[in-house]
């Protein structure tokens, strides 16, 4: 057996572009550019070349490590969060009422926001409903504030 010759450079690996990284990581191209500008993404093969290209194995290894470090904690993945529509369904009201309760401070603060959309842990809403006074809630609330 003799020494194997190396295949030409373009046969060794197809270098990945920003679009390939986005596809591999299941994110948008904008997210990849943000990772690049924040210094999270490994350096491209030649930073001055356009389009920028990366070694696929370097990106695979980086992605495994990056997603392992940045995934959500186990407890936040266990129970899904309720958005305005789910809370409204649970309360038996229209979504606009949930927005109104929230803006008046009549309900718990959202657990998290997705963009501008509030979301709550279901147990927070269920507990709030148990503690919430029945009957004419507005009247009781105004008495509490004035007294």
Q: Cα separation of 81 and 113, whole Å? A: 10
105-123 confidence digits (pLDDT tens): 999 999 988 888 899 999 9
Is residue 136 helix, strand or coil? coil
Domain range 78-135, its CATH number among 1.10.1660, 3.30.70, 3.90.25, 2.40.128: 1.10.1660
Check pLDDT > 50 for residue 5: no
Q: Are 12-71 and 78-135 the same fold in CATH?
A: yes
At residue 27 the predicted structure's pLDDT band, cuts being 50, 70 and 90, is confident
81-111 confidence digits (pLDDT tens): 999 999 999 999 999 999 999 999 999 999 9
Return the ∠ at Cα 73 (arms to 71 and 77), rounded to 5°. Answer: 90
Domain assignments of the chain as residue spans, ordered by start: 12-71, 78-135
CB count in 10 Å sphere of residue 102: 17
DSSP 74-121: HHHHHSPPB-HHHHHHHHTS-HHHHHHHHHHT-SPPPSEEETTEEEB-
pTM: 0.44
User: What pLDDT is stored for residue 84 in this prediction?
Assistant: 94
Check pLDDT > 50 for residue 12: no
Domain range 12-71, its CATH number among 1.10.1660.10, 3.20.20.70, 3.40.640.10, 1.10.8.60: 1.10.1660.10
User: What pLDDT is stored for residue 131 in this prediction?
Assistant: 87
Taking the alpha carbons of 98, 101, 107, 111 in that order, is the dihedral positive or negative?
A: positive
44-74 confidence digits (pLDDT tens): 998 888 899 999 999 999 999 988 887 755 5
Q: In terms of pLDDT, which residue wins out, 94 or 2?
A: 94
């Amino acid at each position: 057996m003799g020494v194997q010759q190396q295949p030409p450079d373009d046969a060794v690996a197809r270098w990945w572009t920003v679009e390939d990284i986005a596809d591999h990581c299941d994110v948008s191209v904008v997210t990849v550019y943000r990772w690049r500008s924040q210094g999270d993404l490994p350096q491209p093969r030649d930073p001055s070349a356009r389009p920028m290209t990366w070694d696929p194995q370097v990106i695979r290894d980086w992605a495994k490590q990056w997603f392992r470090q940045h995934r959500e904690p186990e407890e936040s993945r266990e129970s899904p969060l309720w958005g305005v529509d789910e809370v409204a369904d649970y309360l038996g009201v229209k979504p606009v009422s949930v927005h109104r309760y929230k803006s008046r401070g009549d309900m718990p603060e959202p657990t998290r926001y997705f963009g501008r959309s509030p979301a709550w842990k279901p147990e927070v809403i269920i507990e709030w409903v148990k503690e919430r006074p029945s009957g004419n809630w507005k009247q009781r609330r105004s008495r509490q504030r004035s007294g």
